[in-house]
Structure 1
Amino acid sequence: MEYYLILARSVTYAQRMQRALERVGIRCQIYRAPRDLTNLGCAYVLRVAVPDLTQALIAIHRASLDPVQIFLYQQGMYREVSM
């Protein structure tokens, strides 16, 4: 199973991102960021399906909520993706 994690700097930003994605019909879930991905203490991630990433980033950008980082989960490992 593959998916993207979009890192937000706080739970508030993650919730705002989630609402922006819901407005364009993209389903996502909010989780606390895995410890090995970031050193930010209160970071949260949105889990997004692989085919939805481009549209998700457009919606987030239009809402002025650019992500901190993006990671691809693939074959049991996280890999940072450049934006």
Structure 2
Amino acid sequence: MEYDLILARSVTYAQRMQRALNRAGIRSQLFRAPRDLTDLGCAYVVRISPYDLGAALPILRREGLGPLRIYVQRGGDIQEMGL
């Protein structure tokens, strides 16, 4: 399965992202960021469908919740995507 992972700097920031996406009808899940993705100790990711990324980014930016980074997860492989 393929997902997009939107990196947030804290659990609170990720929760705000998730609420903004939910209000817009975009389903998301919240997870602790894998250690190899960030050197921030408390970073979290919001996982969404890759089909929703184009709609999600403007919503997050409008809410002042721009992501730190975006990753693509395909099976067990995770690769950084350019912003």
Q: TM-score, normalised by structure 2?
A: 0.96
Q: Unaligned 5+ residue runs, structure 1? A: none
1:6 corresponds in structure 2 to 6
Q: What whole-Å deviation, never above 9, does each CA across 1:35-60 have from its counterpart, x for those lacking one?
A: 11111000000000010011111110
1:82 corresponds in structure 2 to 82
Q: State the percentage of identical aligned residues.
A: 59
- 70-79 or 4-13, which deviates more: 70-79
Specify the code of the residue in structure 2 equivalent to 1:8. Answer: A
- Count of aligned pairs: 83
1:63 corresponds in structure 2 to 63
Q: Unaligned 5+ residue runs, structure 2? A: none
- 71-80 or 41-50, which deviates more: 71-80
The 3-state SS of whatever aligns with 2:37 is coil
1:43 corresponds in structure 2 to 43
